[in-house]
Amino acid sequence: MTDLIYPTIDLFLYDLKYSLGDTPEEIKHNQQSYYNKIPEYIRPLLLENEQDFPGEYVHLLKDVYAQTKHHHEQYEGYFYPVLLGDSYGLLVECAFKNKTNAQPAKCFVDIKAEIERILNSQTATIGQTWMLSGWLPPAQTKSSEEIAQACYQALMPGLDWEGDLQGQGHFLGANIFELTQNNQHFIIIIYPDEATLNESGKFYADWIRLFYYRQKIVWAYSQSRLLKHSLQTYFTKIKVGSDAIEQARNKGSELNTLHKTLVDVQNTLNDYTRELTVLDFQGGTIDINLSNYEKRLGRIKQKSHKIQSNQETEVKFLTEFSQLVKDKYRLQITKDSENLERGLKLLSDTINAVRSRVEVEKAERDRNFQNFVTLLAGGWAFGSFVAGLPGLGEKNDNPVRSTLINLSNLKLSVPPKPNEKEPWWLMPTTKGIYTLSGFIIAILVLLIWRRFWRRYHSPIK
C-alpha cells in the first residue's frame, strides 16, 4: 500500500502584473486575470491601490489572518495572494480533511480536481509549481521514493517518473523529490510524521519566493526563444528586401518605388533593433532572478538548520538548477545576442549603403529635372526676346518709329493701300519661327556653357 496521512497539494501560481512597455489598460487586464483566480468572497479583503505598496514581497490581504479558508465536506485549505515586484503570486492549498486515517496515493487526483474547480481551470501566465506532501503512517512498508512515484503518477498519469525526476534530497528529515515535465514543476515531500510537517509550515513564504524566481527564469528563457525566432524572421525579411532594392535599382526602376521599399525595410530593421533590446532585457531578468534564487535557497538551508539542527537538510538538486541556468540558459542568450548584434551591424551597413545610392540617384534626377526646367525657361525667354526685336515679327504701330524706319529706307511715310499685304517678316507665323529659333539657340548655348563650366570647375580633375 502506498498510503499517506493528510495528503495535501500546495499549488504556487505566478502571473505577470506588467512587463516592459505595457499600457495602463494592459496592466489592468493582467490584474483582472489574476483576481479571477481568487474566489469572490476573498476579493473584498484584498488591498486597494496595490501600486501604492512597492516592494519585492507584499501581502495583498488587508488582514493576513483574514478568513481565506475554503470549506468542503472532504477538503480544507486556504488562499494566500502576494505581490512579487512586477508579478503576482498565489498559493492555493487543498488537503484531505482527515489527519487520522491514511489515504491512498490516488486521492491526489481528486484533490487536484478540487483545486482546478476552484480556479475555474485557469492557468498561470508565468508558471506554476505543484507541491505534494503528507506524512507516513506508522505501518507503512513502502519506501518514500515508491510512495512519491505513486503520488506523481496519480497526479500526472502517463508521465515518466525516471525521465522527469531531476533529483532528490532531504528537508527537515523528510524526503524531497523534484520533477519537471514540459515546463511544469513538481515537488513531492514525504514527511516522517505530523510534527515535521507542522515545522515545514514556517517555510511557505520561502517556497513562494524560491519557486517564483525559478519560474521567472524559465519564463524569461522561453520568451528569449520566441524573440530569437522572431529576430531570425526579421533578418530574413530585411535581407530579402535589401536584395530586391539592389536588383530593382540595377534595372532602373522608379525611384519612388525603391524609396517605399527602402522605408519598409527600415521599419523592419527598427523592429529588429527593438526586439534585440528586449532579448538583452530577458537575459538581465534571468541574472537578477538567479541571484535571488541562490540567496533564497541558502536562507532555506540556514533556517532549516536552526529549526532542527539534528535533522538533515540536503537539497543539492535544487542547487543544480543554478548551474543549468548558467551553463545553458544564460550562455545561450549571451551567444544569441552577440550573433544577432553582428547581424544588426551587417544589415545596418547594407541598408545605409543602399539608401545612400538611392538618395544620390534621386538627387541627381531631381537636379537634372531642375536644369531642364531652367533651360526651358532660359530658351523661351531668349526666343521671346528675339521675336520681339524691332522689325522681326512685330508690326510697328508707333508713328514716330515708323517714320524713322521709312526715312532710313528713303521712302515716304505713306499709308499702305487697302489691299496691300504686309511683308513676310511681319506675319504671325514668322514671329513663331523667330521665337522657336531663339529658343533652340539659347538652349544650345546654355548646354555648351554648362559643359565647359563643369569641365573647368569640377573638384575632381
The reported pTM is: 0.78
Task: Tell me if 135 sits within 8 A of 197, measured CB to CB.
Answer: yes
Domain ranges of the chain: 3-192, 218-364, 374-457
DSSP, res 330:
I
What are the helix (H) ranges across 201-254? 204-250
DSSP, res 420:
P
Residue 261 CB neighbours (<10 A): 19
pLDDT of res. 72: 73
Task: Tell me if 12 sits within 8 A of 131, measured CB to CB.
Answer: yes
Which helix (H) or strand (E) is 357 found in, with range?
helix 331-387
pLDDT of res. 418: 54
**Amino acid sitting at position 6:** Y
pLDDT of res. 460: 43
Query: Three-state DSSP class for 88?
Result: strand
**Angle formed at CA 375 by CA 373 and CA 377, multiple of 5 degrees:** 70
pLDDT of res. 457: 52
Task: Tell me if 177 sits within 8 A of 145, measured CB to CB.
Answer: yes
Classify each residue of 424-456 as buried b or exposed e, where b means 16 or more C-beta atoms within 10 Å of its C-beta: eeeeeeebeebbeebbeebbeebeeeeeeeeee
Which burial class, exposed, middle or buried, applies to 34 when counting CB atoms under 10 A from its CB (0-12, 13-18, 19+)?
buried
Residue for cell digits 514668322?
A: 430
pLDDT in tens, the chain (461 residues): 678 999 999 999 999 999 878 899 999 999 999 999 998 888 888 887 666 666 789 989 877 655 567 667 889 999 999 999 999 999 999 999 999 999 999 999 999 999 999 998 888 999 999 999 999 998 888 999 999 999 999 999 988 999 999 999 999 999 999 999 988 999 999 999 999 999 999 999 999 999 999 999 999 999 999 999 999 999 999 888 888 877 776 666 565 667 777 888 888 889 999 999 999 999 999 999 999 999 999 999 999 988 877 777 889 999 999 999 999 999 999 999 999 999 888 877 777 766 666 666 666 666 655 665 665 666 556 556 655 666 554 454 554 444 444 544 544 445 555 555 555 445 555 556 656 666 677 667 666 766 665 555 544 44
Residue 66 CB neighbours (<10 A): 12
Q: Which three cell numbers stand for residue 304?
A: 532549516
